[in-house]
Amino acid sequence: MADLLRDAVKRRALRGEPRVLIIEMADRLVPGMGEELRRFVEDALEECRVETHTQTRVVRVSDKSITLEHNSTQTELETAAVVWVAGVRMSPLAESLRVEKDRRGLILVEHTLQLRAYPNAFALGDVAFYPDVVPTLAGTAQLALQESGLCARNVRAFIEGRELKSKHFVELGEAVSLGTEHAAVLSAGKVVGGPLARQARFAMYTARLPTWHHRLRVGASWFFEGTAPRPLQPLGF
């Protein structure tokens, strides 16, 4: 976002340089990611001259300012824009279900993804707590994607009266976009950064889209920088 903002300022011949701040309540950036990938993120932000403030919380947001609190001291800053990234919340439907849950409200499931006391019902993704998972995977799309394959096989096995399977879910890798030109990818314990990593990240995400329709459409949009190519329009894309 900082790259896009600075590019917009330059193209409009505006004076000065925009000040970009990241406010994080935790004691580190991207707390859900490993140390290797975090290093790349911090270096990229420093190179882009983005200020990071950890162990800081947002107290108040108005139309022209934001109030922050760090070490019990509050500071008000004038702002031109605020982007709020506040995590995810499970579907309200899950909150209303009368099933066994953990203290966070996640539905407790067996190793087969079946609900406890309801073997004919399955749950996965953000609404479910699966016991055999590497901790860093909790609440990620990667975990939901892996669970979907197991869930589909077990639903079919349940209908056909066959034995249901379980699985230990592990980290397949991590990827994060770093501006408009770079990214960082963690695979097999090694981190690769730069423009090549951005292409690898795109390939990873595109390959996991559900249909060829989605892959072709997203791939074309990426290649043509967001402009729908004319050859695809007669095909209904």
CATH number for the domain that contains residue 57: 3.50.50.60
| 219 located within any domain | yes
| 222 located within any domain | yes
Task: Tell me, yes or no, whether 57 and 109 share the same domain.
Answer: no
Task: Tell me, yes or no, whether 55 and 113 share the same domain.
Answer: no
Q: How many domains does the chain have?
A: 3
- Of 14, 43, 78, which one is at a domain's C-terminal end? 78
pLDDT at 179: 67
Query: Which residue ranges in the chain fall short of pLDDT 70?
Result: 1-4, 6, 9, 31-34, 86-88, 173, 179-181, 186-190, 192, 224-237
| 27 located within any domain | yes
pLDDT at 40: 76
pLDDT at 226: 53
pLDDT at 111: 94
- Residue-wise pLDDT for 109-164, tens only, equals 999 999 988 999 999 988 899 988 877 777 778 888 889 999 999 999 999 999 99
Task: Tell me, yes or no, whether 202 and 155 share the same domain.
Answer: no
| 169 located within any domain | no
pLDDT at 188: 60
Task: Tell me, yes or no, whether 108 and 145 share the same domain.
Answer: yes
- Of 47, 78, 109, which one is at a domain's C-terminal end? 78
pLDDT at 3: 65
Please report, to the nearest 10 degrees, the dihedral formed by the alpha carbons of residues 199, 201, 203, 209 taken in order: -150
Task: Tell me, yes or no, whether 156 and 178 share the same domain.
Answer: no
pLDDT at 233: 47
| 207 located within any domain | yes
- Residue-wise pLDDT for 102-118, tens only, equals 888 889 999 999 998 89
Task: Tell me, yes or no, whether 9 and 74 share the same domain.
Answer: yes
Tell me if the pTM is above 0.85: no
Task: Tell me, yes or no, whether 182 and 141 share the same domain.
Answer: no
- List the domain range (segments joined by +) for residue 201: 174-235
pLDDT at 181: 67
Task: Tell me, yes or no, whether 11 and 60 share the same domain.
Answer: yes
- Of 78, 113, 145, which one is at a domain's C-terminal end? 78
pLDDT at 235: 47
| 31 located within any domain | yes
| 84 located within any domain | no
| 188 located within any domain | yes
